[in-house]
Amino acid sequence: MLNLKFQISNYIKTMVCIPLLCLFACSKTAPSADVSGNKSMRLISMAPNITEILFELGLDTEIVGVTSDSDYPPQAAQKRKVGSFWQPDIEAVLACRPTLVVTESFPQQSTLAARLEKVGCKTLVVDVWSLNQLYTSIAAIGQAVDRRDQAQTLVDRLQSKQNEIAARHQDAANKPKVLWVIQRQPLLAASPKAFGTELINICGGVNAVTDTFYQYPPINTESLLAAMPDIIIEPSEENVNPTAQLQMAKAFYARFSGIPAVRDGRIYVVDADKVSRLGPRIDGGMELVEQCLWPGGQP
């Protein structure tokens, strides 16, 4: 009975609070087409990579809310927090009186977008799971916030770096096999379905993991020995010093001395924000992966 009372009470509070918030929180002012000094837009980003895109498009003053995990550029720390990437806070979003909320398409955020649309808040939902989707999303965001030229400049820069690196290694005779590890215990690695594989392929390597149902399948000892990777790459872990992480990684893989990556000392820790966050810094991520695969330069 107490649980039922709590549910009823919570329902009543929700039904009362949300309309009130909608009445006072959602700005109805349409964004101006004037790209110079426009103060009318009130933008909210619901993902760290979207935050970076908006800042890259020169929208510092127009951004009124970001997720708690939006940590770049440094100015993002000064913005109001509206929940996290995985747990958006609708009341915090509405309290910012946004003219546009940009979300990603996975369930927690698409649900948020649907709820916001129902109460009159304009949203833009983007898919960002691959480089092509990133470029499409940047263009869509640029159009929505009247920054088409800036968006095209950003897309051109990223595509240029991708094409430059891919051209450098497309004819490599011996493509190194790369194990892209996202977790060490238990060992999980990127499959050909995961984004890390796209970076590996662009840089002239091949994924050491064969195709599976999962994006990040568990890798047991037998699978690891069968894969025989030439290179092991780990994106950096949050709140762990990269040098310490590399030392721990080398200690962990030491027992697999027959694997070329271990035997040849080709275990790397790379900046996760650059290689895993599909945003304006992904060109730097491509360069980091290229350096791991071809430390001596061109093959």
Distance CA 29, CA 124 (A): 16
pTM value is 0.86
Closest CA to 57 of 111, 100, 5: 100
Kindly indicate the confidence band of residue 5, based on its pLDDT and cuts at 50, 70 and 90: very low
Residues above pLDDT 70, as percent of the chain: 86
Distance CA 123, CA 113 (A): 6
Predicted confidence at residue 34, as pLDDT, reads 39
Name residue 274's amino acid.
K
User: Is residue 124 within 8 Å of 98, Cβ to Cβ?
Assistant: no
Answer left, alpha or beta for residue 175, where phi above 0 means left and psi between -120 and 50 means alpha: beta
User: Per this entry, what is the length of the chain?
Assistant: 299
Q: How far lies 215's CA from each of 29, 119, 178, in Å?
A: 42, 35, 15
Average pLDDT in the chain: 89
Q: What is the 3-state composition of the chain as percent helix, strand, coil, each rounded to the nearest 5? A: 45, 15, 40
User: Is residue 82 within 8 Å of 108, Cβ to Cβ?
Assistant: no
What average pLDDT score do residues 126-141 get?
97
Residues of the chain with CATH 3.40.50.1980: 2-157, 172-293
* Of 4 and 183, more confident: 183
Helices (H), the chain: 2-25, 48-56, 90-95, 107-118, 131-144, 148-169, 195-202, 221-227, 242-253, 260-263, 272-275, 282-293
Q: Tell whether the model's pLDDT for residue 162 goes beyond 50.
A: yes
Neighbour count for residue 15 (Cβ, 10 Å)? 9
User: Is residue 98 within 8 Å of 64, Cβ to Cβ?
Assistant: yes
Q: Tell whether the model's pLDDT for residue 14 goes beyond 70.
A: no
User: End-to-end distance of the chain based on CA atoms, in angstroms?
Assistant: 71
Predicted confidence at residue 40, as pLDDT, reads 86
Distance CA 187, CA 113 (A): 35
User: What torsion do the CA atoms of 31, 32, 35, 41 make, to the nearest 10 degrees?
Assistant: -30
Predicted confidence at residue 211, as pLDDT, reads 78
Kindly indicate the confidence band of residue 298, based on its pLDDT and cuts at 50, 70 and 90: low
Residues above pLDDT 90, as percent of the chain: 81
Neighbour count for residue 129 (Cβ, 10 Å)? 17
Give the range with max mean pLDDT: 33-42, 49-58, 104-113: 49-58
* Of 8 and 180, more confident: 180
Beta strand 63-66 with 43-45 is parallel
Q: Tell whether the model's pLDDT for residue 119 goes beyond 80.
A: yes
Domain 172-293, CATH: 3.40.50.1980
User: What torsion do the CA atoms of 25, 28, 32, 35 make, to the nearest 10 degrees?
Assistant: 20
At the top level of CATH, which class does the domain 2-157 belong to? alpha beta
Q: Tell whether the model's pLDDT for residue 296 goes beyond 80.
A: no
What average pLDDT score do residues 120-132 get?
96
Predicted confidence at residue 129, as pLDDT, reads 94
Q: Tell whether the model's pLDDT for residue 219 goes beyond 70.
A: yes
What confidence tens digit (pLDDT) does each residue in 47-99 have? 999 999 999 999 999 999 999 999 999 999 999 999 999 999 999 999 999 99
What average pLDDT score do residues 109-113 get?
95
* Of 18 and 262, more confident: 262
Q: Tell whether the model's pLDDT for residue 25 goes beyond 60.
A: no
3-state secondary structure of 203: coil
